[in-house]
A and B are shown apart, each in its own frame.
Chain A
């Protein structure tokens, strides 16, 4: 399956995902427990709350050649730390705006809310994000040489 996709796109996207410990990470685990199949190219960084994800990390990942970065957390109102994800949402909006300003494709970053019981949603989100990134091709920054 992966081989066929690789041929189609000519490359295998590198995707970084941030999951919060309480909701989306548990949702990802549930997807696994339910044996839901999904592209395995994303690598997860577990944080306690999505609000720990400093936009700098997203920039770092993109600059270091990640083809896409997805931040996931609890649904609004469900954050384990009361209102952390509202801050995440605001930071993400700002981040996307900055990306747009500097002429970088903002669709390479995504924010999604996934609860601990939404295994299928986790799998389908990863499918969807993978498809988006695949269709966009390689992150142009990964070709550039930084001094």
Chain B
């Protein structure tokens, strides 16, 4: 069918009308190939303007439309709708921006007119090579992936799972529960962390809508909000691995935090002096009753050393002051009259309950000492702790036990996780939220959320608040039965031209391209491709084409633009 292109220039009242010689533009384009109509209108986006377009499309039997008006960011969609209403495929349309990028940036009418003519001609040349594209509606997948089975991951999974929404909970270790399942009493309530987490584990395991993948990690995540394709890699007992493919609409990352190890602790005698333990080791002893409890032993004198590794990591880990106050209370309960010193640099006890909790520890006998530097040494009668009090004075303590409060750090594998999910890392290496204040539970990628300590050290209650927030975001946006319209201006590979070199796989940031070794060609998954066109520019064989930004379309536009 012969092309019948209609060209329309908008005056935008005086905005374009006064700065561009509209008649000169109409004259310049009306003789171009396939142009059957060139017309002007006062305000094209107004009701009468749209009616004017529709009437002309009908009477002139237009097949393609070019509009010279404002930025596509303003009204591209408006005119695409006009096309749809008039039975023209909305992609057989081109808008050229002669307001923001012409009429408003020069007062020289001659120059503006000349530029408008060039842009108009370029748009007309381009539209001749446009192909009709059809939108597809994709049903959203309401299922959710949760990575990490600590309290945050479990809380999110429990809130999300329902007959309409399956949750895949992926846990790297042998069992659910994370850090808290092995904890004794937790601040500020002193309820048993272990019991609380175990109760959650039971609920998760009894939930028909939660699929738990133990000994497993997520190895591939590609796609977008509503439609992610995920590969879960599990470790088998015989040492092999099992790959399970799951499809989900959103993901919650709840990979928690780990306790710093290594030099900052070793410098304070950890690993070389008996009785020097980390707060996590003490936590385990308090939980299993080897210290405190019935029959457990209890040290008579203890020094807590706070902020171990804080300078190295560059941030305060938020939970350690409160944790030491808690552990001090437990030790003082276990051995009445014990001497417990907490050597701190700064105290971090924000929130409604924390201050009173700390004062409770002091009342029970804990001795809070501000210090600037600490040294730990072994000796016959115990452990010596020398520390400076700031004003030049120093103090030496003899204790049975030293508890180091190390910084909390991102779990191993966080970098790979960030890269896989396209989520940024903050300078300390934790996953970065979209906005620290406004969206502390969202990653910068649509459909990926962050819960618990994965984005920085957090208490149990804060971790659960975040998990609930993630669940809220998912429940309010990923609604079963809804459809989404994936990008249709995507790339595709012409098999006949592809040499299977796989250059395109390297450049695609979304993992949208797969290589088929049988055919020795690559394929683009249209549901995952975002349409950036990077692979198109990278392919040495010119085998890739991006719909609506094809080689020919851009070539024609360029050549006419600089004629």
- Residues on A close to B: CB < 8 A? 1-2, 14, 16, 25-26, 28-29, 31-33, 35-41, 43-49, 51-55, 57, 60-61, 64-66, 80-84, 87, 91, 123
Contacts and interface: CB of A to CB of B under 8 A. Distances in A.
Contacts of A66: 562
B546 A82 contact: no
Which secondary structure dominates where chain B touches chain A? helix
Given A38-B105, A54-B537, A84-B509, A49 B100 contact: no
Interface string B180-196: 00000000000000000
Contacts of A47: 533, 549, 554
A99 to B, nearest CB: 17
A18 to B, nearest CB: 9
Given A49-B533, A123-B105, 6 more contacts: A43-B562, A45-B561, A55-B537, A64-B563, A65-B562, A82-B509
Nearest to A53: B537
B20 to A, nearest CB: 11
A127 B212 CA distance: 60
A23 to B, nearest CB: 12
Contacts of A53: 537
Which A-B residue pairs are the 5 nearest by beta carbons? A52-B533, A32-B100, A51-B534, A81-B532, A82-B509
Given A1-B108, A43-B561, A48-B489, A57 B532 contact: no
Nearest to A58: B558
B277 interface: no
Contacts of A38: 105-106
Contacts of A64: 558-559, 562-563
Interface in B510-558: 510, 530-534, 536-538, 546, 549, 551, 554-555, 557-558
Given A33-B104, A49-B532, A82-B422, A43 B537 contact: no
A32 B562 contact: no
A127 to B, nearest CB: 11
Contacts of B111: 2, 40-41
Given A45-B554, A48-B549, A87-B538, A26 B559 contact: no
Interface of B: 71-73, 97, 99-102, 104-108, 110-112, 114-115, 118-119, 122, 422, 489, 507, 509-510, 530-534, 536-538, 546, 549, 551, 554-555, 557-559, 561-563
Contacts of A33: 100, 104
Contacts of B107: 1, 37
Nearest to A67: B562
Given A29-B71, A43-B119, A84-B509, A2 B534 contact: no
B76 to A, nearest CB: 10
A26 B73 contact: yes
A37 B108 CA distance: 10
Given A16-B558, A83-B509, A51 B533 contact: yes
A45 B100 CA distance: 14
Contact of B72 (A32, A46, A52, A61): A46
Contacts of B489: 48
A61 B554 CA distance: 11
A44 B115 CA distance: 10
A91 B537 contact: yes
B99 A32 contact: yes
A14 B111 CA distance: 12
B549 A43 contact: no
